[in-house]
């Protein structure tokens, strides 16, 4: 959007004696996408813009067309006419992006490469240092407000303690921006998101760490570490695993023969040290912090395993997968999936919610405070 403004493709345009502010001509934009290597051809360009329409990012100026047409029709970014739906998650994300851009564009920025326990971390700052800067720049009125902002950024996965051991505090604890907002993203990444139907039917369903069987009725996860025997954990249908193994054990089957890198055996027992109830999680003063994770599935999957029920927990996380990159860890409890409260559901129902949802998964999890 900003590049299109700079390139004067977005501007006020007059049509039938009426002026439409901040709009672009669809045909011109398709040309621009190809010229700037954002799309290899017109068909791909149309599919990309349709994605933006489907996600309420752009729309026809009079809302007379629900499809993106490669023609002399006027469209507009909803952010330019105030109709973009700003949820709480989006507002926090945009606030984090705004702060990040402000921090990296000033001289003597508090964002630096720092070392802790012989490990170097990028884009780091001290908690108290960030609070001082927020007050100095007029971003907040007082230290309490700054702490609340820092906690919201941490819970939404925008910042984190460098070793994921603390919430945000007004102290000399070291934090970092987890998201690098300056990373150049290609529009074609949008096309990796499948429809819910295609998601369920695809042999490479993003709900799997690794898919064992192309049969769409068998949705299974593989475990995630190295140098041990492969076993399977069913996240959706117990019957599929039972039928494979030929016994009543709903979670494990005999090790299959696969040409995959060696992976670790999933513990047949829960990774939780002890059972935890919903009442315990939600009681006032409970030692748990809620975090919001935004996980963009890649070509292989999201990279995690859900087990248990009421509440469900994270049983395993692929260390090289999208979930790990978003900050997911074992033993976290699943609070909500794409805005749906799920503490009272079992893992099969949660699996179904994830599989039939969008490729970009927003999960709220509750994590024990160490």
Kindly report the backbone phi and psi dihedral angles of residue 104, in degrees, each rounded to the nearest multiple of 5, phi listed first.
Answer: -80, -15
pLDDT of residue 229: 28
For the stretch 27-41, pLDDT in tens is 999 999 999 999 999
The residue from 53, 77, 101 where one domain ends is 77
- pLDDT, residue 194, reads 52
Give the model's confidence band at 321: pLDDT under 50 very low, under 70 low, under 90 confident, else very high: confident
Q: Indicate whether 244 belongs to any domain.
A: no
Angle value at C-alpha 192, between 222 and 38, nearest 5 degrees: 145
Mean pLDDT score across all residues of the chain:
78
Q: Rounded CA gap, 310 and 288, in Å?
A: 16
Find the mean pLDDT for residues 117-133.
93
Question: Where would I find the H helices in 294-344?
Answer: 322-326
More confident residue, 75 or 205: 75
Q: Are residues 62 and 125 in the same domain?
A: no
Beta-bridge partners for 365: 291, 334
Same domain, 67 and 136: no
| pLDDT at site 184 | 73
Same domain, 92 and 73: no
Q: Is residue 247 one of the residues assigned to a domain?
A: no
Q: Which residues, other chains included, contact 362 with Cβ-Cβ below 8 Å and sequence gap of 6+? A: 89, 292, 293, 294, 295, 337, 338, 339
Q: Among the three residues 144, 177, 210, which one is the final residue of a domain in this structure?
A: 177
- Counting residues of the chain whose pLDDT is more than 70, the rounded percentage is 79
Q: Which of 350, 363, 369 is nearest to 157 (CA)?
A: 363
Is the pLDDT at 235 greater than 70? The verdict is no
Q: What is the CATH number of the domain that holds 159?
A: 1.10.10.10
> Residue 267 above 60 pLDDT?
no
- Of 44-48, 114-118, 220-224, 299-303, minimum mean pLDDT range: 220-224
User: Do 253 and 244 touch, CB atoms closer than 8 A?
Assistant: yes
Confirm whether 111 is domain-assigned: yes
Q: With cut-offs at 50, 70 and 90, classify the pLDDT of residue 206.
A: very low
Cβ–Cβ under 8 Å, residues 164 and 176: no
Range of the domain at 295: 278-368
Q: How confident is the model at residue 86 (pLDDT cuts 50, 70, 90)?
A: confident
Average confidence (pLDDT) over 168-190:
86
Same domain, 304 and 362: yes
Say which residues have a Cβ less than 8 Å from residue 368's Cβ, sequence separation at least 6: 287, 288, 331
Judgement on whether residues 109 and 137 belong to the same structural domain of the protein: yes
Whether residue 115 is contained in a domain is answered as: yes
Question: Per the domain annotation, does 231 fall within a domain?
Answer: no
Looking at residue 35, what is its pLDDT? 94
> Regarding predicted confidence, which is higher, 197 or 137?
137
> So what's the pLDDT on residue 296?
85
- Residue 117: the pLDDT is 87
Judge whether 31 lies within some domain. yes
**Mean per-residue pLDDT for 143-155?**
94
Q: Mark whether 68 and 113 lie in a shared domain.
A: no
Determine the Cα–Cα distance for residues 232 and 268; give it in Å rounded to an integer: 10
pLDDT at 197 over 80: no
186 inside domain:
no
- pLDDT at position 233 is 32
Same domain, 41 and 110: no
Which residue among 130, 161, 177 closes a domain?
A: 177
71 and 129 share one domain: no
118 Cβ neighbours under 8 A, 6+ residues apart? none
Cβ atoms within 10 Å of 23's Cβ, excluding its own: 23
Work out the pLDDT band at 209, boundaries 50, 70, 90.
very low
- Whether pLDDT at 198 is above 50: no
Residue 232 confidence (pLDDT): 30
- 364 plus 329 within the same structural domain: yes
Q: Which residues pair with 340 in a beta bridge?
A: 337
Contact indicator for 344, 334 with CB cutoff of 8 Å: no
Vertex 368: Cα angle to 365 and 370 (nearest 5): 140
Confidence check: pLDDT of 349 > 80 = yes
How many structural domains does the chain have?
A: 3
DSSP-derived pairing of the beta strands 232-234 and 220-222: antiparallel
Q: What is the CATH number for 310?
A: 2.30.42.10
Residue 4: what pLDDT?
A: 92
Confidence of residue 75 (pLDDT cuts 50, 70, 90): very high
**Residue 297 in domain:** yes
Question: Looking at residue 300, what is its pLDDT?
Answer: 64
């Amino acid at each position: 959007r900003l590049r299109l403004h700079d390139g004067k493709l977005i501007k006020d345009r007059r049509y039938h004696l009426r002026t439409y502010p901040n709009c672009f001509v669809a045909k011109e934009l398709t040309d621009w996408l190809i010229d700037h290597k954002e799309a290899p051809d017109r068909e791909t360009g149309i599919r990309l813009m349709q994605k933006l329409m489907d996600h309420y990012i752009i729309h026809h100026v009079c809302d007379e067309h629900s499809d993106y047409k490669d023609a002399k029709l006027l469209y507009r970014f909803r952010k330019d006419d105030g109709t973009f739906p700003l949820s709480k998650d989006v507002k926090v994300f945009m606030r984090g992006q705004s702060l990040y851009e402000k921090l990296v564009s000033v001289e003597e920025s508090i964002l630096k490469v720092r070392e802790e326990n012989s490990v170097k971390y990028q884009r780091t700052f001290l908690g108290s240092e960030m609070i001082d800067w927020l007050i100095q720049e007029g971003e907040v009125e007082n230290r309490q407000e700054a702490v609340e902002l820092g906690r919201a950024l941490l819970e939404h996965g925008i910042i984190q303690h460098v070793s994921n051991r603390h919430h945000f505090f007004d102290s000399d604890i070291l934090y970092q921006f987890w998201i690098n907002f300056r990373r150049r993203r290609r529009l074609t990444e949008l096309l990796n998101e499948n429809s819910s139907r295609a998601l369920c039917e695809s042999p490479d369903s993003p709900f799997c760490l690794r898919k064992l069987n192309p049969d769409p009725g068998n949705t299974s996860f593989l475990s995630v570490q190295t140098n041990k025997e492969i076993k399977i954990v069913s996240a959706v249908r117990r019957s599929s695993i039972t039928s494979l193994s030929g016994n009543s054990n709903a979670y494990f089957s005999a090790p299959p023969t696969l040409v995959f890198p060696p992976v670790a055996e999933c513990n047949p027992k829960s990774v939780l040290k002890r059972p935890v109830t919903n009442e315990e999680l939600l009681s006032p003063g409970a030692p748990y912090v809620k975090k919001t994770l935004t996980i963009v599935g890649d070509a292989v999957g999201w990279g995690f395993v859900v087990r248990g029920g009421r509440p469900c927990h994270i049983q395993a996380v692929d260390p090289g997968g999208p979930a790990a990159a978003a900050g997911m860890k074992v033993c976290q409890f699943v609070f909500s999936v794409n805005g749906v409260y799920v503490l009272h559901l079992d893992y099969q129902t949660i699996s179904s919610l994830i599989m039939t949802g969008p490729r970009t998964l927003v999960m709220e999890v509750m994590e024990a405070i160490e």
